Amino acid sequence: MTAVDDRQMTAFFESLEAPEGIKVELLRGEIVMMAGPDLVHNLIVQTIQDAIPRDRWHRLQTQDVDLLRESSEPQPDLVVLPRDAAPASGRLMPVEVITLLVEVVSKTSKLRDYVTKRSIYAAGGVPTYLIVDPFEAKCTLLTEPVGTGEQAGYRTERNSKFGEAVPLDGLGVMLDTADFGTLP
């Protein structure tokens, strides 16, 4: 896409009114729509959110992230940033203030969560990206973003099975995954 096409796509995306219960994201110029998540998905997000101290961190669901240089406006399952770093208002959270993004894999999001969003978040400089996979009963913690565009990635990858604690060092939290549910 050219810069003009990117601007047109972003303008179209921002004017789009999705039906209630449908999650819509812009990922590298592609509009992606998804139905509401499974209960297991929501309970995992809630457990992670509850493990992160509210007095030090904003833990936001359904928050769009500003990754416009990637022609992307993803809506991660959880966005975490320091309490004193949030802007006063706005639909798009500036990537520069984000400490952690969390995606919980669904039936239709596996490729996007493990590949597309991994490179988008790394290219955007997101310092920590946690992928929780209830189908595989594992967590993948990615840190140290490097690179640009579709070749971007993370230097460090740590995989943990459900039941093993996941160290969220940037938050000072050891995430207990023992209660994470699984999906067939």
- Asked if 51 and 175 touch (Cβ cutoff 8 Å), the reply is yes
Spell out the residues 6+ positions from residue 16 whose beta carbon is closer than 8 angstroms to its own.
24, 31
Secondary structure (DSSP) of 5-72: HHHHHHHHHHH--PPTT-EEEEETTEEEEEPPPPHHHHHHHHHHHHHS-TTTEEEESS-EEEBGGGTB
**Residue 25 confidence (pLDDT):** 64
Residue spans per domain, the chain: 37-175
pTM: 0.87
What's the CATH superfamily of 37-175? tt1808, chain A (3.90.1570.10)
Per-residue pLDDT of the chain (184 residues; tens, 9 = 90+): 445 466 776 676 776 776 676 677 677 777 777 677 889 999 999 999 999 999 999 999 989 999 867 788 899 999 999 999 988 898 899 999 999 999 999 998 999 999 999 999 999 999 999 999 999 999 999 999 999 999 999 999 999 999 999 999 999 999 999 999 999 9
